[in-house]
Amino acid sequence: MVEVITAPPSPVPVRRRQAHWRHGAIRWRIPLLLTTPLLLYMLAFYALPVVSMLLRSLNDPTWSFDHYTALPNDAVFLKVFWVTLRTSLVVTLATLVLGYPVALALSRARSTAPFILMVILLPFWTSVLVRSYAWMVLLGRHGLINEALLAPKLIAHPIRLLNTTLATEIAMTHILLPYMILPIANALRQIDPSLARAASGLGATPRGTFWQVILPLSMSGAAAGVVLVFVLALGFYITPAMVGDSRDVTLSMLIAQQVEQFNWGYSAALSAVLLATALGLIAVAQRLPGVGNAFRMSLR
């Protein structure tokens, strides 16, 4: 009888599997190691302060929801909240109306595109405080605008422009305008030029091409710009405090006033409401038909 001797299994496949597993483990750990410093930074300087704020709103003077339950009956809070929403809405619409033509010109420009982009990004190189002071100089009683109107005797007396609701909306629109232009310009640049040529070849007029092709395809950038500008306008403080009307107090200004009075619990509750409003608007915008996908596409 012949005895068949079988060789022991080769350790090569086992070694390959082990090497593959180690390689996969390393590939999985590298992104985690790279993002760990950012995660720790966000945890220490963002998450913990937010949690501390929420706890303070519930623990001043005792553990309760009194600060939140009193807000629906607080006439001051309701008025301030309405002023904040109204100002944010007006500024968002103004930046959309003014920013879309600029974004369209930027997307179609060739040789002048760097110059247009530099003009758009110029406000980012200047502090918000400096820009607010500049608007105070322009809109003051003896500012440049009033002096320019008084010189040719277009007006008999200086117009009250500074410390008005209009001044707040103008200054905030100027500061937040780049946040609307850049997402729209990015969406317009991603539109295939052959689509416009095809529409023109099928008999569409330039106006019809814009309304039926360009505008619908650029809604991704418009959606992102609207959400971004509205959320930023909700928390604006410096500009409304400097150029706005003292009667049109925004929510961020009310929070600052309460902090100065050491009313920590009430100010923390107001801050939580402001944060919840911003997060709620983002969540609602992403769930609207077509807007959510457009918003995510524009941020890629």
pLDDT in tens, 115-154: 888 888 887 788 888 999 999 989 988 888 888 888 888 8
User: What H or E segment, with its residue span, contains residue 272?
Assistant: helix 264-287
pLDDT-derived band of residue 193, with 50, 70 and 90 as boundaries?
confident
How high is the mean pLDDT of the chain? 84
Q: Which tens digit of pLDDT belongs to each residue from 56-99? A: 888 777 788 888 888 899 899 999 999 999 999 999 999 999 99
Which residues on neighbouring strands pair with residue 109, listed in sequence order?
A: none
Nearest to 161 by CA among 183, 185, 149, 143: 143
**Tens of pLDDT, residues 44-56:** 988 898 888 888 8
Nearest CA-CA partner of 85 in 235, 218, 241:
235
Q: What is the pLDDT of residue 6?
A: 53
Query: Partners of 63 in the beta sheet?
Result: 59
Query: What does the alpha-carbon distance between residue 281 and residue 156 come to, in Å, rounded to a whole number?
Result: 45
CB 248 within 8 A of CB 87: yes
- Please tell me whether the peptide bond between 193 and the residue prior to it is cis, using omega within 30 degrees of 0: no
* Residue scoring higher pLDDT (7 or 51): 51
Number of helical (H) and strand (E) elements in the chain, helices listed first: 16, 0
Q: In Å, how far are 107, 173, 215, 247, 265 from 194, measured between CA atoms?
A: 15, 34, 15, 53, 58
Q: Are 278 and 233 in contact (CB under 8 A)?
A: no
